[in-house]
Amino acid sequence: MVRIVFLAGSLAITAASTDTYNVPAKMNKIGQPLDSFVSYSIEFASFPDFAGNDTLRNDFSYNLLKNLGDMMGTSPYIRVGGNTQDYALFNGSQKEALIGVVDPSRSPDYPTTITIGPSYFESYNTWPGFKYSHGFNLGLGGNRSAGWQTLVETVPLACKALGNGKLYTWEYGNEPDLYSVSAQGPVRPSSWKESSYVRQWLNGTKEIRARVKESCPDLGDPQYMAPSFASLADPLNEAKTWQAGLNVNKDIELFSTHNYISGAASPGVTLQGTLMNFGVTKASVDNHVKSYSRIFGSTGNASAPPLIFGETNSLYNQGRPGLSNTFGAALWGINFNLYSASVGFKRMHMHQGTNYRYQAWQPVDTDKATKGTKAPYYGSMAVAAMLRNSATRPVSVSNVALGTDQHEAAYAAHFAKSEQLARLLVINMHRYNTTVDGAGLVPVSNPAVRAARTYSFRVGPQVADGQFVRVQRLLANGSDAITGITYDGWSYNWELDAGRPVRLHNVTTGETTVVSNGQVTVSLPDSSAALLSFTK
């Protein structure tokens, strides 16, 4: 049943209702993610800002990452890479960790001329208990002497920095399918094809293997996330690179693909129509599943490298204010992450960088942005709660069909071993704005009445009648909010306690509902989400 209730002070007006929804009776066999499912990708040039160095650790970033690790039971994995990994050249005498020059005609958001020094690798020392992947430069390393020399000189530094259990995996090249068509300036000719890429990949990974064996033999043979493509079609194709021998050495342990729902400057992009829209997200993710399945048969192929999003977020070109930095983007993030898990994605690396509009947090103060926790972070916390303790009690995620309304979604989590229903997460993505033009800045003097929608799910006989169900809510003043966001009454804002959890006493918590006649029912205001837990 969906019942719409309009909230006006203490008054509630009930509108029409529809059928009760069926929760899958069994777990989804392809929906079990890896541990640390909620992970991050940090732009190569921004990593020192996010992590700090041996002299000054970025404790704010550490606190936020630790929150997620405490919730999931395993710490997020950190992929260090992105466009700027393919611009970075090494200078062994440089004292600074990174020197970057921003050319606005190429990109206003990150440097495109970059040198790194030995101290760059100190950033891998700052967050105890975390694992990392390091991105090597293929863009300049595959066909230029300075880039190749950077590879030769930085492999020993990277592998030594990632010893003692810190190594996640390696990456060689970011989005090489765009090298010949990059908006920031092509680094390959128009003749750049799959065979050329594979030849340079194999040559570079052979060198990485030799240098790791020489400098860090305890790490064993390098394994990679790859191919890390941005597109599913031209100019390079994932399946064709596989056919051309990309994994001839059997060293690709994670099949990494990249995804953005749309572009920051793409015509017609809106919060409701693009981000807070189940159908748009489903179509985008399904395309990646189809591409992967053309190579491996299905996402359930246990002999194939697990499918991951090695880099992803809402809108490419670093997002748009009023869209990517809003609470609506946090709701999008929940839907995107959980739908991806339900169709076989095993880990998600949400991308971010200094000053990026879609970032989960701004790690330092700059002339463009102030340090702080951003709305998308709260979406990550809700996903982590849905998948909590997945290392010790893994769950499998299923999409719960809600009919034709594209502005709502629901997901079930079953324990993978017992197939017992553990949790339901419901997302009401109907837009509710409280600011002029939905930009999150100028308040509306008389905002519209906010509706609430009541969702009812059949959970019997999986869950017995009379069982109490814990309800934890993700809330904000509206989909356009950029502040005032809480998960289960907790704030993770910088200004409260440097990102550590702080319980707010003006938010209702401890809510429960009861299973009755085999059904559980919960009401959600427009632009909000709720997690229902049937077990601890």
In order, the DSSP letters of 217-238 are GGG-S--EEEEEES-SSSS--H
Q: Which residue has the tokens 């003749």?
A: 191
Cα gap 238→259, rounded to integer Å: 14
Three-state secondary structure along 235-287? CCCHHHHHHCCCCCCCCEEEEEEEEEEEECCCCCCCHHHHHCCHHHHHHHHHH
Q: Which amino acid is at 532?
A: L
SS3 at position 154: helix
b vs e for 104-123, b when ≥16 Cβ sit within 10 Å of the residue's Cβ? eebbebbbbebbbbbbbbbb
Q: Which residues pair with 409 in a beta bridge?
A: 427
Place of tokens 């800002």: 49
Q: Helices marked H in 162-224 — which ranges?
A: 194-215
Q: How far is CA 99 from the centre of its chain?
A: 27
- Point out the residues that are catalytic: 194, 311
Beta carbons of 97 and 366 less than 8 angstroms apart: no
Question: Under 8 Å CB-to-CB from 46, ≥6 apart: which residues?
Answer: 84, 110, 352, 353, 354, 363
Q: Which amino acid is at 64?
A: L
Instruction: For residues 190 and 175, give the distance between their C-alpha atoms in angstroms, rounded to a whole number.
Output: 16
CA-CA-CA-CA torsion sign (90, 136, 60, 353): positive
CA 120 to each of CA 44, 198, 199: distance values in angstroms, whole numbers, following the listed order: 10, 29, 29
